[in-house]
Structure 1
């Protein structure tokens, strides 16, 4: 029953945000075009049941950045505008399209890449792929990212096991109020 309500909230919130936020999306995309020449970033991620789907975000890194987990990417690859988008979490907003498509939820485990074998192993052992991936969740508000596969999988499991409509809104509210710091980027020396 909780799943039904959460899915209904996902659709209503994502649709409303996309419609009301369209002018902002357009402005962000236009500025992004001048920043990198390609404001939208699409990447294949692992979804529910380990099925692939195309994650959509605003681009925050230069075009030739290697496709790796964020914590393995070079800090130098982030553009100045991209740093602003990451700090404000605006880069995540196009994922509302993924939510409407049913590939993601607003709240769930962050979807990983197919080459993150340690994380996949940890998540497999905890049945994390039984849930839709999300834009935010317990790990994100506690600044736990994919650089700590075991801790991330344990936290994701705790979130899935304790998911309720109340926690769903709590995680969204905490994210909107600035909890968490997003995925860390490797500092180059």
Structure 2
């Protein structure tokens, strides 16, 4: 990221910011006591808010997320599900796939239960999601791995995003083909 002029700061959060309009800069105050001067700031992290107010409170946790088991019993996936790890598209796709498989298994079991009530479907379970993420910046990327490692460069961008910010991989997972 050095050749792009991007500085990576870990283990510190932005506590505040002040815009210097005369110099077209933003001064960031970090939790470690440092200040950074930036030409461009994109605030991209925040505590997400689950949009679940329409659901019964009995299925929600204290933060408004749908309580799910490892078999996604309530069939909630993605940003509204109370599941560990960083909320990202890869996890949402895995959760959706698990929920879809279990829904189909329950439908089939319900149809068979009309003949034999003792049949219970074996549910697919969801693995815990490790803390990890990737961010594309220009022709490079930075990744934070589950082992705490940080890697940067064009190779990281290719591995994490390909040439189209991961759109081809998402299409493949969903079973769509590029037209």
| TM-score when normalising by structure 1 | 0.26
Going by fraction, where is helix more abundant, 1 or 2?
Answer: 1
More strand by share: 2
Say which one has the larger Rg: 2
TM-score by length of 2: 0.27
